[in-house]
Amino acid sequence: MRTRTKLALSLSVVSLVLGFMVAVQYKQQAHTTSFSFFSGDPQQKQLMAELTALKQSNSNAEAELAALTGQISTYEQQSTGGNAALQTLQQKLQDERILAGVSPVAGPGVSVTLMDGVATGNNVEQVLTHDWDIRSVINELFTAGAEAVSINGYRVVATSGIFCTGPVVEINDHRIGAPFTIYAIGDPQALKSALTIQGGILDSLRQRGVNASEPQEMQTISMPAYTGTIMAGPSQ
């Protein structure tokens, strides 16, 4: 009987300590996991606020830049006056700017939307819209004579990089996710047939499971200008 008392007593002591440790650890664990979400951590909140403010001021600056560029081109047009040679030059400059992507442009064209497909099992990698898919579509459009192309509102210029950054795609240093709506200004029929040609880019995307919409001919598409810096060469 004495051993049983001893057993019960020592087991009680031990289970008391064990219970205490388990409870502390449990509390700790719950605390740690709640960290990963946006909890009441003041530092995290402050950083989020700073980030939002920076993004806001960034987009304000971009809008201002676009307005100023518009003013410059109006002044340029005014300064040419009635001189025919200057007007031709001005027109050429305008065309080049459109091709370079540094001035806003409007015109007829096509739109196409790429969506991630629904994965059935292990083929997640296949049905996602990858950076190279977007590149292929854009190259196809440019080859077919597109004069201006934009992806989700970001103008594609000669120095635009389209590449994968984790789950999203980075275009002109902007991170965007699916669906990707691609607008292209140019001859709508030529652009559309370039995309829908049998065995063409959209066919191969659909075969893989990517949800690519039918290209839509549009009467007027207006595109913003490219607002980033254009750099030549590998200097960063």
Partner 1 sequence: MIWLPVLGLVVGVAIGFVANVTIPIMYSSYLSIAILAALDTVFGGIRASLDKTFDSAVFLSGFFFNTLIAALLAYIGNQLGVDLYLAAVVAFGVRLFQNIAVIRRVAFDRAGKRRLKGN
Task: List interacting residues with partner 1 (CB under 8 A).
Answer: 3-29, 31-32
* Number of helices followed by number of strands (H, E) in the chain: 7, 9
Q: Which is nearer to partner 1, 31 or 206 (CB)?
A: 31
Give the pair of three-digit tokens for residue 236.
């960063």
Contact 161, 228 (CB under 8 A): no
CB of 168 to partner 1, least distance (A): 30
Distance of closest approach, residue 30 Cβ to partner 1, in angstroms: 11
Shortest reach from residue 41's CB to partner 1, in Å:
13
Residue closer to partner 1, measured from CB, 20 or 163: 20
Q: What is Dmax (Cα atoms) for the chain?
A: 118
Q: Is 42 helix (H, G, I), strand (E, B) or coil?
A: helix
Least CB distance to partner 1 at residue 142 (A)? 52
Q: Is the peptide bond before 234 cis (omega within 30 degrees of 0)?
A: no
Cβ contact 113:181 at 8 Å: yes
Q: Please, which residue, 2 or 122, has the CB nearer to partner 1? A: 2
Tokens at residue 19, please?
């219970």
Q: Please return the burial class of 38, using the count of CB atoms within 10 Å of its CB with bins 0-12, 13-18 and 19+.
A: exposed
Minimum distance between the CB of residue 8 and partner 1, rounded to whole angstroms?
A: 5
Residue nearer to partner 1 on the CB measure, 3 or 198: 3
